[in-house]
C-alpha cells in the first residue's frame, strides 16, 4: 500500500450545489489526510527473496506440479481446504495415485 498523493479535486459543476460539493471535497480531504498520517510504509519487503522463492519453486506442492511445475504427480495429494491450485499442463497423475480436490476448491490446468 502506498501513500495517497492527493491533488485538489475539481470545483462543483453548475448543476450541483457548490456548498454540498465543497463539503464533500473537504470530507474526502480529511479522510486522505487521516489515511496518510496513519500510513506506515513496509520497510521489510524482500523482493529479491520473493523472486528467488518463486524461481526455485519453493512451496510447490504435489511433487512440484502446482506452482512451479513438473508434469507428473507421482504421489497422492489433497489440495488444502479453502485453497485452489493450478498447473500448466499437460499433467499426468501416475498410475494408482490420487489427486483430491475438496468441495469448494478448484484445480485448473492451463
pLDDT per position as a tens digit, 9-24: 666 677 777 777 777 7
Q: For the whole model, what pTM was predicted?
A: 0.41
The per-residue pLDDT for range 45-71, each reduced to its tens digit, is 556 655 555 555 445 666 666 666 678
Say whether the peptide bond before residue 69 is cis (omega within 30 degrees of 0).
yes
The C-alpha cell that represents 60 in the structure block? 510447490
Residue span of the structural domain in which 72 resides: 57-109
* Residue 62 · residue 77 · CB < 8 Å: yes
Are residues 105 and 61 both part of a single domain? yes
Asked if residue 24 is part of any domain, the answer here is: yes
What average pLDDT does the chain have? Answer: 74
DSSP annotation string for 51-99 = HHHHHHTTT-BTTTTBTT--SEE-S-EEPPTT--EEE-S--EEPTT--E
Number of domains into which the chain is organized: 2
The C-alpha cell that represents 47 in the structure block? 523482493
Amino acid at each position: 500500500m502506498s501513500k495517497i498523493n492527493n491533488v485538489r479535486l475539481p470545483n462543483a459543476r453548475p448543476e450541483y450545489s457548490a456548498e454540498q460539493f465543497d463539503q464533500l471535497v473537504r470530507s474526502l480531504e480529511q479522510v486522505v489526510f487521516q489515511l496518510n498520517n496513519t500510513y506506515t510504509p513496509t520497510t521489510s519487503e524482500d523482493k529479491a527473496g520473493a523472486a528467488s522463492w518463486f524461481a526455485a519453486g519453493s512451496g510447490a506442492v504435489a511433487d512440484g506440479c502446482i506452482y512451479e511445475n513438473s508434469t507428473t504427480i507421482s504421489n497422492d495429494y489433497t489440495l488444502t481446504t479453502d485453497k485452489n491450485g493450478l498447473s500448466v499442463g499437460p499433467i499426468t497423475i501416475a498410475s494408482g495415485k490420487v489427486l483430491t480436490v475438496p468441495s469448494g476448491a478448484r484445480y485448473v490446468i492451463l
